[in-house]
Amino acid sequence: MVLDMALEHDIYLFHQGNLRYSYKLMGAHLSEENGLQGVRFTVWAPNAVQISVVGLFNEWDGRCHPMRKVNDNGIWSTFIPGLDRGCLYKYEVLTKHGHIMLKSDPYAFSSELRPNTASVVDPLQYYDWKDDDWMLRRENRNMYESPMSIYELHLGSWKYIETEVFYTYREYADMVIPYVKEMGYTHIELLPLTEHPFDRSWGYQATGYYSVTSRYGSPDDLRYFVDQCHQNGIGVILDWVPGHFCKDQHGLRRFDGEPLYEYANPAKAEKTQWGTLTFDFGRNEVQSFLISNAIYWLKEYHIDGLRVDAVASMLYLDFGKEDSNDWEPNEYGGRENLEAVAFIKKMNEAIFEEVPDVLMMAEESTAWPLVSAPTYLGGLGFNYKWNMGWMNDMLKYMEMDPVHRKYHHNLITFSLFYAFSENFVLPISHDEVVHGKKSLLNKMPGDYWQKFANLRAFLAYMYAHPGKKLLFMGSEFGQFDEWKDLEDLDWELLEYDSHASTQQYMKQLHHLYHDHPALWELDHDEKGFEWIDANNYEQSIISFIRSSRYAHDQLVVVCNFTPNVYHDYKIGVPQAGVYEEVFSSDATDFGGSGQTNGLDLTTCDAPWQSQQQHITMTIPPLAVSFLKRVSATTVREGNV
């Protein structure tokens, strides 16, 4: 094979770990060569003795279409005339041990429907995008000072036709998008859509990193889904799993008979708790594979951001390994995977150079510093981090009987000590409502009414707390059962008042959220939050101020995490005038008790709780009240 200079340069960059669009070099591509139409196949397999392309077109006979080695670093390639879009194929790999394996293409853009595992020839550039307006707005949008409320979604269990029989991406677009838009979410986050063999892995154990799972249709069907989201003003975030891959024989494991994509050292390769293998982050070709893969989803599918799964499992050599004999320290004696740290920084730098207006969200569960800081400041280079500490503390607190909450008051206040150390997303994800953890509603203590009241209070506090928001599907209408990944959501619950009211509550909470920049404009700035009273543990009441960039644009938030009602309760407020309760989670429309503040609340000119004036109000049970100054009138005289 004669290489032109451009191709030689791409191959050089691939082996250096710097080919950001390696999917345009590798894999199966329609092309015309010597006047013939066909498919060019290219694969990296340095340890193979011989590789052939096999498929229905040659009756899976490896003698028909052997590949030629392009260079000494293990790139193989061949052109097969007469093949077209939709062609099924695999690579037949002869190892140095004399074994023959059939492997799916690591760079395939499409795959057969499981349980079949062949790759499918599918070109990139057929889809006609119609989301130019969205992409232009995205380019000019300040994501940090904008509202962001994410609906985390597993397509196959949102709604299905029957067990393991799903709608298509296009059909889901027609159902999901109107619902998400009506509910007021700004983004959808999709659990991984890379091809995977086992439904119950939810896509987190993949075999086809460039291949859209065929469970729901074709690559263009997914593009249609994203396109329709954008045309309806909804962003799309994709769960992405660069930390590990599954061991299925047709996948990446020992791709050419030897460890290739995974570490050769089992102590670094094995993710024993998940039964998976860790990518070799120090290998240049693996870096090209993964960095290109991230860019591929962002560019070729117009994805607005990636939620990077299990970052802690990449950062730490001892992750999930309780026995010290199961892992080896780094060259300095530490537990950090230095190669993974360097890779993550390199990946984020490449992504933001290529696609600067996207979200890169780290699901990172430890205290690793500067996760969402730029690499030039010593950070990992993400622009968001999931706030797992807030999530764990709040769920632990909310699961307690209210009578015990006063002894654990710090759980609802501690997060404000570090709330501005990173750009945080507050996540209530699928992981918190599965595997016996109970649904969000069913975590709540008390009787039937109190469960719903606790849920409303928790969600209101979540939306008042600094940070962007993420909520897993079903929580928005109070699903009682935890997530059942082989069934669809319990939509029939909406026939009952409490669940229908909870769904209506989430709609109105989103209206409040969107309408008040104080709840999102300074999410990542200490100026956006001020405590009024963080210390009333006896009554489990906290109060604080959320502010926008404009001093007059503030909300006072009062949270009561007990079932007690308090009348004539004094709350310090930042500005003199008349306040109105603009939202209460205890409103009867939402199933609450109706202990709301329907009359205007006029300030008294007497200091209270570090503020220069105060109001007196009714504090509803298990509820959150949002107050806003509506006029600056002469204040009433009052006593401390």
pLDDT at residue 124, rounded to an integer: 87
Q: Is the pLDDT of residue 634 over 80?
A: no
pLDDT at residue 323, rounded to an integer: 82
Q: Where are the domain boundaries for CATH 2.60.40.10 in the chain?
A: 5-120
pLDDT at residue 640, rounded to an integer: 41
Question: Catalytic residue positions?
Answer: 309, 363
Give domain 5-120's CATH number out of 3.40.50.2020, 3.30.420.280, 2.60.40.10, 1.10.10.10.
2.60.40.10
pLDDT at residue 638, rounded to an integer: 53
pLDDT digits over 115-131, tens only?
999 999 999 878 999 99
- Would residue 609 be called left, alpha or beta, if left means φ above 0 and alpha means ψ between -120 and 50 degrees? left
Distances (CA, A) of 51 to 122, 256, 261, 539: 21, 9, 17, 71
Q: Where are the domain boundaries for CATH 3.20.20.80 in the chain?
A: 147-411+429-454+473-498
For residue 152, what pLDDT band results from cuts at 50, 70 and 90?
very high
Residue carrying the six token digits 């032109």: 4
pLDDT at residue 164, rounded to an integer: 80
pLDDT at residue 133, rounded to an integer: 98
Q: Is the pLDDT of residue 635 over 70?
A: no
> What does the pLDDT average to over 542-563?
95
pLDDT digits over 371-397, tens only?
999 999 999 999 999 999 999 999 999
Q: Is the pLDDT of residue 299 over 50?
A: yes
Residue carrying the six token digits 């500067």: 370
Question: 529-536 and 468-472 as β-strands: parallel, antiparallel, unpaired?
Answer: unpaired
Q: Is the pLDDT of residue 243 over 50?
A: yes
> What does the pLDDT average to over 238-258?
97
pLDDT at residue 325, rounded to an integer: 82
Q: Is the pLDDT of residue 639 over 70?
A: no
> What does the pLDDT average to over 136-155?
97
Q: What percent of the chain has pLDDT over 70?
A: 98
Quote the strand ranges of 105-254, DSSP E.
110-111, 119-120, 149-153, 187-190, 194-195, 208-212, 235-240, 244-245
> What does the pLDDT average to over 493-510?
98
> What does the pLDDT average to over 470-494?
97
What CATH number labels 147-411+429-454+473-498?
Answer: 3.20.20.80
Q: How many C-beta atoms lie closer than 10 Å to residue 274's C-beta?
A: 17
- CA 26 to CA 14: how far, in whole Å? 10
Task: Assign 3-class secondary structure to 426-437.
Answer: EEECHHHCCCCC
pLDDT digits over 575-612, tens only?
999 999 999 999 999 999 999 998 899 999 999 999 99
pLDDT digits over 429-472, tens only?
999 999 999 999 999 999 999 999 999 999 999 999 999 999 99
pLDDT at residue 165, rounded to an integer: 87
> What does the pLDDT average to over 489-515?
98
Give the angle 234-474-434 at the CA atoms, nearest 5°: 120
